[in-house]
Amino acid sequence: MQRACSGICRSAPAPQPQPQRRHMQPASGGTRRRDARCAAAFKFAKYQGLGNDFILVDNRHQAEPVISQQQAIKLCDRNFGIGGDGVIFALPPNNGTDYSMRIFNSDGSEPEMCGNGIRCLARFVADIDGSQPRQYKVDTLAGLIQPALLPDGQVCVDMGEPILKGADVPTTLQPTQGETVVQQRLEVDGREWLMTCISMGNPHAITYSLADGSSIKVDSLELARIGPMFESHPVFPARTNTEFVEVLTRSHVRMVVWERGAGRTLACGTGACAVVVAGVLEGHVDRSCQVDLPGGPLHIEWREANNHIYMTGPGERVFAGSVDL
């Protein structure tokens, strides 16, 4: 059983340019030159959180990622690259934080945040700095997130407050509880699903059942077929992550996820948080709940005292190396 969180939670020099061949003409507006970001071997470390795997980059020497989104696609390719669900950059501090975080998904898109990814990032920074377990303040596109390394090797993340207003998720589905979209009907693949929409800084659409009362059985879903239909449905103007949930008890659920920009993954930390929030709003689960994902369990707690969500789970180093871009 996962332990709940206490709440305390040089780049190589570029090669010298080669002499220009006489038969080549300079490009219009200036000479042809290669982007310095891809002129040298690229150092990385590979981490995983419940099988959700990432290429980690120590980017704290400059504010912009050292590789492009197109290069991230190449690196994430599991046949022709390193392989991963995304590339995560540890960037210089901002707004009084310890460092900043950005992510490029395996399709090159940039999400606001990633729960499994931020656990891996906290472990990565601690590993390269040789620091003792402590809490970090991380600036993300979803705002301030605070992961804490625990003595037992787990990482507990104060994920902040969920965003419940449907228009801010965003979704155009009509609210059913105040401004929140809870168990709203949505037709996908010829069936009506009951959807609850939550943002954890990134959008999530969660379903526990169909409109006919049928419960979700995660093992019977054709996720690769229906996942893209939810992700790109017109009611989600920024696309969405989609979680399908099967209730075991009030403190234990199973879920599978189709992630925006990454597809089927073994785990999604923000998704697990959104699942518990949705489950509480729908009356299925308690505020402290174990969420089983294909890659393993996470412990999620939505505290009534401060409205913050705490996620506890692993972040583990797999290997490190360098690759030519």
Q: Which of 156, 268, 273, 289 is catalytic?
A: 268
In order, the DSSP letters of 199-246 are ESSSEEEEEEEETTSPBP-GGG--HHHHHHHHHT-TT-TT--EEEEEE
Q: At what angle do helices 269-282 and 115-129 cross, to 10 degrees?
A: 140
Assess whether the previous peptide bond of 170 is cis (omega < 30° from 0). yes
CB 125 within 8 A of CB 161: no
Q: Which of 5, 9, 114, 273 is catalytic?
A: 114
Does residue 120 have an active-site annotation? no
Does residue 114 have an active-site annotation? yes
User: At which residue do the structure tokens 């050292």 appear?
Assistant: 66
C-alpha dist (Å) from residue 252 to 197, 255, 301: 20, 10, 12
Catalytic positions, written as ranges: 114, 268
